[in-house]
Amino acid sequence: MSDAASLLLAAEIKACCAQVYASDAVRLLVGESLHPGGTALTAHLAELMGITSDSTVLDVACGRGVSAVHLAQTVGCRVIGVDYSTANVAAARQAAEVSGVGARCTFVEGDAESLALEDHSVDAVVCECALCTFPNKPRAVAEFARVARPGGRVGITDVTSTGHLPGLEDLLAWIACIADARSVDEYQGLLHGAAFHTDVIEDHSGALIRLIDTVRARLVIGTAVLSPAAVEAAGWDLRQAGAMAEAAVIAVRSGDLGYTLITAHLP
pLDDT digit string (tens) for 136-175?
Answer: 999 999 999 999 999 999 999 999 988 766 555 555 444 5
The mean of the pLDDT values for the chain is 82
Which pLDDT does position 210 carry in this prediction?
Answer: 86
Pinpoint the alpha helices (H) of 56-136.
66-74, 86-98
The per-residue pLDDT for range 169-195, each reduced to its tens digit, is 555 444 545 667 899 999 999 999 999
Q: What is the pLDDT of residue 76?
A: 98
Say how far apart CA 81 and CA 110 lie, in whole Å.
9
CA distance readout (Å), 169 to 25, 144, 153, 177, 263: 22, 31, 35, 13, 30
Domain architecture of the chain: domains with CATH: 3-265 (3.40.50.150)
Q: What is the pLDDT at residue 174?
A: 43
Report the C-alpha gap between 156 and 158 in whole angstroms: 6
In angstroms, the CA 262 to CA 188 distance is 8
Determine the pLDDT at residue 241: 64
CB 125 within 8 A of CB 148: yes
State which residues of the chain have pLDDT below 70. Answer: 1-34, 164-179, 216-244
